[in-house]
Amino acid sequence: MRGTRKRKQPHPQSSAKSQKTAVDRGGAASQVPFPDHPRPTPEECASVRDDLLSLHGFPQEFIKYRDQRLKTKSLLKSSTNFEPLIDEEGVDERESVLDGLVKTILSQNTTEHNSEKAFASLKNAFPTWKEVLEAETKCIEDAIRCGGLAPTKSSCIKNLLSFLIERKGNLCMEYLRELSVEEVKAELSRLKGIGPKTVSCVLMFNLQHDDFPVDTHVFQIAKTMGWVPPIADVKTTYLHLNQRIPSELKFDLNCLLYTHGKICRRCSNRKVGMENKEVEVGNCPLLAYSRLS
């Protein structure tokens, strides 16, 4: 007698705790790690931006990038034929994508002062990227040693330049301006030593995309304010905040949170602030938002 054939059981539905996929505010599909976590709200993001702007003003170090974003968006709205930002002498005002990426690599695990000094030293020793590519690795290490992790960073820079020659035939990354956010992420993820935060910084600062990098300062503040659950790590915080924060607020809010995290002892969990510029605990405007969590 033939046995009764059992029906295949359908796959169980994924649990509420699993990550969902949604379309973010920029139109790209991405994971939503904490779909039931309601913060930050758009109103809260705008309020934090305004409070930090009143406290710090807009950080001087980011003004040139902010101006470039405003000019780019203005040109895109006013013309279907977008022209690069050219000054009166016919020079593109924008920092090159390659310069921006190398600066971000040099900024890893060091202070802003040291990373700027390392980039200036590198360009002084090797004025062109072709000279950097042809230089001995030891010479590059010596040029950027003031920025820390010289062997690791020099290797990363050499790999980047070699990749460009092999793939594109030149030492230029302006082609990234024509790619979507997901295409840029896929392209840069091929490179050893270039992680998600570095990619996100290039997207926001050099390519004028509405992305929201998460460094140690932003991560710590997000957790302190309850913008992410206690179980969140840097990766899931990046995914969550990029879903929750309105695109038009991402740039200003990110720059302000980064600046505040550097000088507020409470928000950075450091005992000593920066060069007597620290914000006293009682004066931190983010205290009120932390009580909401």
Lowest mean pLDDT, pick from 14-23, 27-36, 241-250: 14-23
Name the pTM for this structure.
0.83
Structure confidence at residue 172 (pLDDT): 97
Higher pLDDT, 55 or 268: 55
Tell which residue, 203, 206, 232, 190, has the closest CA to residue 40.
232
Percent of the chain with pLDDT over 90: 69
Separation of alpha carbons 265 and 281, rounded Å: 7
As a three-state string, the secondary structure of the chain is: CCCCCCCCCCCCCCCCCCCEEEECCCCCEEEECCCCCCCCCHHHHHHHHHHHHHHHCCCHHHHHHHHHHHHHHHHHHHCCCCCCCECCCCCECCCCHHHHHHHHHHCCCCCHHHHHHHHHHHHHHCCCHHHHHHCCHHHHHHHHHHHCCHHHHHHHHHHHHHHHHHHHCCCCCHHHHHCCHHHHHHHHCCCCCCCHHHHHHHHHHHCCCCCCCCCHHHHHHHHHHCCCCCCCCHHHHHHHHHHHCCHHHHHHHHHHHHHHHHHEHHHHCCCCCCCCCCECHHHCCCHHHHCCC
Is the Cβ–Cβ distance between 273 and 279 less than 8 Å? yes
Tell which residue, 226, 222, 220, has the closest CA to residue 293.
226
Ranked by mean pLDDT, the top range of 20-29, 198-207, 264-273, 282-291 is 198-207
First to last CA, the chain: 65
What is the pLDDT averaged over residues 63-82? 75
Each residue of 193-226: pLDDT tens digit? 899 999 999 999 999 999 999 999 999 999 999 9
82 confidence band (pLDDT: 50, 70, 90) = very low
Mean pLDDT of all residues in the chain?
Answer: 85
What is the pLDDT averaged over residues 242-248? 97
Partners of 264 in the β-ladder: 279
Structure tokens at 180: 């979507």
Each residue of 256-276: pLDDT tens digit? 999 999 988 888 665 544 444
Supply the residues annotated as catalytic. 197
- pLDDT over 80 at 188, yes or no: yes
Lowest mean pLDDT, pick from 85-99, 112-126, 140-154: 85-99
What is the pLDDT averaged over residues 105-127? 96
233 confidence band (pLDDT: 50, 70, 90) = very high
Separation of alpha carbons 186 and 203, rounded Å: 12
What is the pLDDT averaged over residues 33-40? 96
Structure confidence at residue 76 (pLDDT): 63
Tell which residue, 182, 126, 137, has the closest CA to residue 162.
137
